[in-house]
Chains A and B, each alone.
Chain A
């Protein structure tokens, strides 16, 4: 199998059109993508912007192992995940995931698996800047629960 699999960090805006074009294979009957975007509020606070910071070496190795695991588990033809670092504004793409497979079931499941595992395993931190001038490092409660 000619597997296209990668995890990348990007300090530049994510070009989702370009990324989806890279996932092309004649055997792929399904392409599913997920785009995580910067929301204008979190837990009742109005968000102005945010920053992502990564422990790059570990993020790349953990991200790659998530992608490899997904590719094996769901028999994918291709999988790609790009996560932003640096400063982001409302509406910006924070993370993009695309997978291709023979059939849609595997593609949907793999996409969900990758975003859930990336959140849990990849060392990236988020600092929110609020409209009132305050800031906070935030992590979803589910991270602590598992």
Chain B
């Protein structure tokens, strides 16, 4: 596993947006997978959200947490939906 740094765009919605007080940011990371990336962000500044309910979208598609992230990806953390 390489530890090359990559630029990831994170967009925040709903509770995540309120916790971070912004709608998104560019992060340079060496995280290999989505879960590593989430843990890195949460360790730096805890989101304070119940992580068992959180899912992840990579470039607009729901993906498993173990999915590899690559330079230029857009990541969105999803709390349970409330539409309808």
**Residue B48, interface by CB 8 Å:** no
Determine which of A53, A118, A121 lies in contact with B14 in the assembled complex, contact meaning CB atoms within 8 Å.
Answer: A53
Q: A58 touching B81 by the CB < 8 A rule?
A: no
Q: B14 touching A137 by the CB < 8 A rule?
A: yes
Q: How far is the CA of A143 from the CA of B53 in the complex (A)?
A: 10
Q: A61 touching B81 by the CB < 8 A rule?
A: no
Of the candidate stretches B2-10, B27-35, B38-46, B72-80, the one touching chain A is B72-80
What 1/0 flags go to A119-139 for Cβ under 8 Å of B?
A: 111111111000000000111
Q: B13 touching A55 by the CB < 8 A rule?
A: yes
> Which residues in A have their C-beta under 8 angstroms from that of B60?
57-58, 61
The contact size tier of chain A is 20 to 34
Q: A94 touching B84 by the CB < 8 A rule?
A: yes
The contact size tier of chain B is 10 to 19
Residues on A lying within 8 angstroms of B by beta carbon are 36, 52-55, 57-59, 61, 83, 94-95, 115, 118-127, 137-140, 143-144
**New A-B contacts (4) at CB < 8 Å, excluding given A124-B81, A125-B83:** A55-B57, A95-B83, A137-B14, A139-B79
Q: Considering the complex of A and B, which 6 residue pairs feature the smallest CB-CB distances, nearest first?
A: A124-B83, A126-B82, A139-B80, A125-B14, A119-B84, A139-B82
- A selection of 24 A-B contacts at a CB cut-off of 8 Å is A53-B13, A55-B57, A55-B78, A58-B61, A58-B76, A59-B83, A95-B83, A118-B83, A118-B84, A121-B81, A122-B84, A123-B78, A123-B81, A123-B83, A124-B82, A124-B84, A125-B14, A125-B83, A127-B14, A137-B82, A139-B79, A139-B81, A140-B82, A144-B80
